[in-house]
Structure 1
């Protein structure tokens, strides 16, 4: 269980608020749904999702492929549906939600330059910060153009911690190296006295843990196995994503894994 994580164990004994950072409109529930279900009975919990928006077309081939995989007619319809799903799942769970309104990596544009609209019309890959999934987003290399975004996120999360009075800040470990997850992890690491990292599900079933990050930050791990059965209907509430994430229709029931410093 959580015997190696005194920070989380101590907090579980009380009822102080928690703040969860979710890169996308499903990640907090996918990775932490069981802990959310159990803990919302005792405390106020807020889930803040960072990357909740798209951009005006035309889009890259990678972005169009993603929209097609989600069986949506266009990106705006997809993201409108995803925001609605998130609201419904979290409201039913009794958790507060905040959508920070940043563009998903697939739709994050570079700073405009002369001829920007012409370039976007004829070769959109040239105007997006992460033009491909495999060679950009999935490698976890943060674009220099996201430097200001990260600074703004640091301030926004600091404000949210103050507003919510959160004792703990949960954020992804970045398993799978999706750049939005890596950015969210980086933002969480700016608050070392409060942060607890969670293993990104279902990616933690296919990709190795970030051992270097774990070692550099002196993190220990612990698992949570209560309320696991309650996660399945919650995950299915994200209908635009569930079929793509679990194409065989089976959602594995596995303990959630958390990481924190013992200091």
Structure 2
């Protein structure tokens, strides 16, 4: 079986499903991680918020995305997944349509869900993904958008226009940060697929997260704290779980 995980950024699918992806590969599945917002930013100067994040990541300017794509290739290699990098720039680099103003000016702007001004972008990416998936017998997995990040919302909205039956993954670490009760958050009409992890699966997950060295400080004080947090999350979920709507065709 072939699985494609849609990842808004260069880390989201591995963060959220790394252990499950490793277990799927070990069972003989072909797994790919398609990252939507993996494109180079426009030529500088960069917006102040983007510069602030570059400083936190220990990267600079146009090199930031090259570093992050290299991290993603290393993480995917650890999981046995095949990476595919699309060319939409991260929202921190995008402008408001028809304007030179940044789409995101501060951290709070990231977590307001899909910005209505980007609906044409959703439509364009639904068409592009549809073309890439045309005729393919594949299981497509979308982020649930727990935490409300606008790029996660854009990815989910584009995926839902494909006319396919989708699986969804809880967005980690946002699901843990907000202590989300996923079944309650989803409401009725959903079913889950639960996968218990082996020790090797958990270790592969932790190693994949560690590969995103530039991003560790965004969520954890260090690698040991990250490993402990991933293990605690895995234990709280009794593995990794995907969700889909009951009875949905496609």
Query: Which range, TM-score by smaller chain?
Result: 0.7 to 0.9
Is the contact between residue 20 and residue 170 of structure 1 (CA under 8 Å) also seen in structure 2? yes
The runs of 5 or more residues in structure 2 that have no matched partner are none
Task: Give structure 1 stretches of 5+ with no counterpart.
Answer: 1-15, 117-126
**d(CA) in 2 for partners of 1:46 and 1:190?**
20
The answer to whether the aligner puts 1:65 opposite 2:52 as a matched pair is: yes
Structure number with greater Rg is 1
| SS state at 1:200 partner | coil
Which residue is 2:42 aligned to? Answer: 55
RMSD: 2.2
Given the two structures, how large is their TM-score scaled by the length of structure 2?
0.83
Aligned match of 2:128: 156
Tell me which of 83, 89, 92 is aligned to 2:75.
89
Map of 1:205 onto structure 2: 176
2:115 to 121, 134, 142: 142
Give CA-to-partner distance per residue, 1:180-229, whole Å, 9 cap, x none: 0111111222246420110011111112367797238x323343331223
Which residue of structure 2 lines up, in the alignment, with residue 5 of structure 1? none
Q: Show the 5 A alignment for 1:125-204.
A: 127-134=101-108, 136-144=109-117, 146-162=118-134, 165-191=136-162, 193-204=164-175
Equivalent runs, 1:37-48 vs 2, <5 Å: 37-41=22-26, 42-48=28-34
Query: Number of residue pairs matched?
Result: 231
Residue 2 (structure 2) pairs with residue 30 (structure 1): no
User: Normalising by the residue count of structure 1, what TM-score does the alignment of the two structures yield?
Assistant: 0.79
